[in-house]
Amino acid sequence: MMVRPNSCDIFCAVVDNYGDIGVCWRLARQLANEQGLQVRMWVDDLRSFGKLCPELDEELAEQLCRGVEVHHWGDELTVVEPADLVIGAFACEVPKSYAEAMALRQPKSVWLNLEYLSAEDWVEGCHQLPSPHPTLPLSKYFFFPGFTEKTGGLLLEHDLLVRRDVFQSDAAAQLTYWQSLGVPSRVEGELRVSLFGYENEAMQALLSEWEQGSYPVTCLLPEGRALPQVAAHFGVTSGKAGEVWQRGNLRVHVLPFVEQEQYDLLLWACDINFVRGEDSCVRAQWAGRPFIWQIYPQHDGVHLEKLEALRRLYTAGLQDEMAQAVQNMWWSWNGGQGVATAWRDFIAQREDLARHGAGWAQQLSRNSLALNLLDFFRRTE
């Protein structure tokens, strides 16, 4: 019996955006660099991956990148010896020949599907359930990340919170960071906000609120899907990294899309973070600052249930006024009404929310996804 896996294969089919590859890349590096596993990633789209990892060569079929073997997963996968631990990310199917090789292997690989993150109640009941393969003597297990003890937990690098604390208590390091972005020092009463999101009906109203507000707002806007709307607000047809727009009390700095570690610094340095999807939402929680989540929209509206599930969990035990402020702000940012009022109420709770955010991150940090995966392997193998 193997106590620990020596090797791991991660299969990632990129749907769109950066969440799928972002999560897989983070997990791969943690297993390789913190846990010492030999990790191979099989990725069908190296272009999105290249945005997160600039040194990746998109033309190469195979390369070693930050301790991880990265393979371009084309139409054919030359049969390889399956790893001890095999992870299909987000319901992506492993190739048939690979599944057959897993079934023949002695001992068999431990095979699991890493699911999307959700705070909904049903997740606890489905975490770790097996699903027998229809034809092969092999089971795949569902592994659900999550926010409670009975789920698979969240991805967290072993030293992240320590590095965050050092950065957040070091004014000189923060100044150097802002200078590296070309952002001037803070002025009295200024609020710094990062804004990573999708297209949003509430965008114009929020930008106007900031512009006409009573205190200066500096908005750090990574290049991407939210950029055209913000550019349009300033009468610009297309914006790019490096541009700065100012009107009233609002100044926007357009930032380049940077590698994941650099994005963490932005979240740690800002007072409030607007995040989206899955992985940036988790990173904002590790930052410990108040955050506003724009969930990845689904046609049938089920995303709003997911939104509310995390909102409930995150605000459980908070005073009514605070919980309500978070709810109104998150809902108005996800298709609801009244974003300007919601923003004012949210900001009024800012200091208490920051205190809550720090405790929330601490509480979540007790449940590490990478360690849970290894523990699951030990019990299943």
- Kindly tell me which residue out of 19, 152, 153, 239 binds ligand TRH, with binding defined by CB under 6 A: 19
* 263 or 268: CB nearest ligand TRH: 263
333 binds ligand TRH per the rule CB under 6 A: no
Is residue 77 within 8 A of residue 42, CB to CB? The reply is yes
Phi, psi angle pair for 71, to nearest 5°: -115, 135
Helices (H), the chain: 19-29, 46-52, 96-104, 122-126, 160-168, 171-181, 203-212, 227-233, 260-269, 279-287, 303-315, 320-332, 339-348, 350-364, 369-380
- CA separation for the pair 98, 79 (Å, rounded): 6
Structure tokens at 190: 């200024």
Tell me which of 206, 278, 311, 368 binds ligand TRH, using CB under 6 A.
278
What does the alpha-carbon distance between residue 229 and residue 73 come to, in Å, rounded to a whole number?
A: 35
Q: Do strands 217-222 and 139-143 pair parallel, antiparallel, or not at all (unpaired)?
A: unpaired
107: preceding bond cis by omega (within 30 degrees): yes
Angle at 344 between CA 219 and CA 224, to 5 degrees: 30
Exactly one of 296, 318, 338, 350 binds ligand TRH (CB under 6 A); which one? 296
Q: Name the one range near ligand TRH by CB under 6 A: 12-20, 107-115, 129-137, 350-358.
A: 12-20
**What is the rounded distance in angstroms from the CA atom of residue 227 to the CA atom of residue 233?**
10
Residue nearest to ligand TRH (CB): 19
278 belongs to the catalytic site: yes
Q: Choose the catalytic residue: 20, 115, 157, 279.
A: 20
- Which residue's CB is nearer to ligand TRH, number 297 or number 338? 297
114 DSSP assignment: E
Whose Cβ is closer to ligand TRH: residue 14's or residue 39's? Answer: 14
Distance CA 200, CA 339 (A): 11
Are the C-beta atoms of residues 42 and 71 closer than 8 Å to each other?
yes
CA distance linking residue 376 with residue 128, whole number of Å:
8
In whole angstroms, the minimum distance from the beta carbon of 117 to ligand TRH comes to 7
Q: Note whether 183 and 193 are within 8 A (CB).
A: no
Q: Residues 39-68 vs ligand TRH: string with x where CB under 6 A?
A: -------------x----------------
Q: Does 20 bind ligand TRH (CB under 6 A)?
A: yes
- Give dist(CA 22, CA 259) in Å, integer: 10
For ligand TRH, give the closer residue by CB, 5 or 277: 277
* Residue among 82, 277, 290, 357 that touches ligand TRH (CB under 6 A): 277
The minimum distance between CB 341 and ligand TRH, in angstroms, equals: 27
Using rule CB under 6 A, residue 358 touches ligand TRH: no
Binding characters for ligand TRH, 239-258, by CB under 6 A (x = yes): ------------------xx
The site map against ligand TRH for 192-211 (x = CB under 6 A) is ----x---------------
Q: Which of 4, 7, 17, 324 binds ligand TRH (CB under 6 A)?
A: 17
Instruction: Pick the binder of ligand TRH from 145, 216, 222, 357 (CB under 6 A).
Output: 222
Closer CB to ligand TRH, residue 79 or residue 302? 302
In angstroms, the Cα distances linking 97 to 5, 103, 136, 140 are 22, 10, 11, 16
Q: Which of the residues 84, 264, 278, 279 is marked catalytic?
A: 278
# binding residues, ligand TRH (CB under 6 A): 22
DSSP codes joined into one string, 307-354: HHHHHHHHHTTS-HHHHHHHHHHHHHTTT-S-HHHHHHHHHHTHHHHH
Pick the binder of ligand TRH from 229, 260, 365, 380 (CB under 6 A). Answer: 260
Contact letters (x/-) for ligand TRH, 109-138, by CB under 6 A? -------x----------------------
Q: Which residues bind ligand TRH (CB under 6 A)?
A: 15-20, 22, 52, 116, 196, 222, 257-260, 263, 276-280, 296
- Active-site positions read 20, 278
